[in-house]
Structure 1
Amino acid sequence: MHQRVNQADQQKRGAVRTARALRLANAELRIEGVADVVEYHQQADGTKIPFPIEYKRGKPKAHRADEVQLCAQALCLEEMHGVAVPEGALFYGEVRRRHPVIFDAELRNLTLQTIIACRDIVQTNITPHAIYQARKCNGCSLIDQCHPKDFGKSASAWLAAQLKKD
């Protein structure tokens, strides 16, 4: 599903310019990344408002992680272009349609708190324990790096389990 959006290119249709695999950054927040798609919608006054779109292979989730990721992209676009980015969309491959996301104060605050929490993990070098959940973990692309079955418990519990195997 990401094959097309991972190819950095641009196209224009009418008043909308579309950029794929667009590098993003926000120096103040010290974050950077790559947006799958950003549409630039031209306003009547000539201003171009970015509209980020993130592609996901599954379906909408009960948690807000996808929305936080998209909002972080909006924060980058706002700093890069000096314009407010009020909304974006998540495109889920399983349902094959866009789900609008409004970047309201609550989502922006959650995104900023998540950025701070991630920065703390990097600075302290302490990663939270992974909690294995078959439904979530088995389809995750990071399962081989995370090892939630092995390391999702305390070190002493993991060691005890290893000693029982012997």
Structure 2
Amino acid sequence: MSTTATEEPSPWPVPLSALEHYDYCPRQAGLILLEDAYAEDAATVRGTLAHRRVHDPGQETRPRVRTLRALPVWHDALGLTGVCDVVEIHPDGTVLPVEHKSGSYRPGGPADVQVAAQAICLEQRMGTRIESAAIYAMADRRRHHVAVDHAMRERVIRIAGQVRRVLTESALPPPAADARCRRCSMHTGCMPKVLAKRPRYERLLGALFTPAPEADFDD
């Protein structure tokens, strides 16, 4: 990254969407970031179709709230960059990022990290403090509020560092091979069960071809 003699180097940029992917499954994030291996299934297609409207850049003003759509955001110090689905600006100055998801909401899940990171980026762009964000779950047809507190901010920073390590080291994390894989659109390309058993396979293979100790024929 570019720098001068008097400035600290800028951190390697981390996409906001990668925070959610990594928090769900580090290997999923690695496959997307390093191998451009994103795969579609019925759930991801539903999500893409549902996001069409909020991904169109623009703004609208309704009584007592101004709404910005597809707003680019970034955070220089943390090296975060991405786009907010929806940002609401209320009359009292409150700024509320709203991330849209096609499925049901899971409290404390990976989506919380993504929308909290959006809030942190918006704080820098708009010069304000944001204590709360929201996730609109289309399957639930309602909003779920996410506290952008100290613990959540630390979680964002920690996961951003982990994603950056994947990018800089160009090494795929190991497969999860657990219940998450059944819900992942990248299951076929990832082959989690096959790769999860590889260390055991290599141990057995090594034992199979390890020569036996030579017999002692001395009297």
Question: Same-fold call, TM > 0.5?
Answer: yes
For the aligned residues, what is the CA RMSD? 2.4
Are 1:21 and 2:67 an aligned pair?
A: no
In the TM superposition, residue 35 of structure 1 has moved relative to its aligned partner by 1.1
- Which residue of 94, 109, 112 maps to 1:49? 94
Structure 2 partner of 1:35: 84
For 2:185 and 2:56, the matched residues in 1 are separated by 20
Residue 121 of structure 2 aligns to a residue in which SS?
Answer: helix
Unmatched 5+ residue regions in structure 2? 1-49, 205-219
Amino acid at match of 2:77: E
Structure 2 partner of 1:81: 126
Structure 1 partner of 2:181: 137
Residue 168 of structure 2 aligns to a residue in which SS?
Answer: helix
What's the CA shift string for 1:44-87, capped at 9, x where partnerless?
xxxx3320111111112255311111111011101111100111
For 1:23 and 1:151, the matched residues in 2 are separated by 37
Whichever of the two has the greater Rg, that structure is: 2
Residue 113 of structure 2 aligns to a residue in which SS?
Answer: helix
Q: Is the 8 A contact 1:129 1:153 kept in 2?
A: no
Residue 172 of structure 2 aligns to a residue in which SS?
Answer: coil
Change (3 A) 1:16 1:119: same
In the TM superposition, residue 144 of structure 1 has moved relative to its aligned partner by 5.3
Unmatched 5+ residue regions in structure 1? 161-166
Q: Is the 8 A contact 1:90 1:101 kept in 2?
A: yes
Quick one: higher RCO (CA 8 Å, sep 6+), 1 or 2? Answer: 2
For 1:146 and 1:26, the matched residues in 2 are separated by 31
Residue 23 of structure 1 aligns to a residue in which SS?
Answer: strand
When you count strand as a share of all residues, which structure comes out higher? Answer: 1
Are 1:120 and 2:165 an aligned pair?
A: yes
Structure 2 partner of 1:110: 155
In the TM superposition, residue 149 of structure 1 has moved relative to its aligned partner by 4.1
Structure 1 partner of 2:9: none
Residue 97 of structure 2 aligns to a residue in which SS?
Answer: strand
What's the CA shift string for 1:79-110, capped at 9, x where partnerless?
11110011111111111110011111111111
Amino acid at match of 1:114: I
Paired residues, number? 156
Residue 42 of structure 1 aligns to a residue in which SS?
Answer: coil
Change (3 A) 1:62 1:148: farther
When you count helix as a share of all residues, which structure comes out higher? Answer: 2
Amino acid at match of 1:148: P
Change (3 A) 1:25 1:129: same
Residue 29 of structure 1 aligns to a residue in which SS?
Answer: coil
| TM-score (norm. length: structure 2) | 0.63
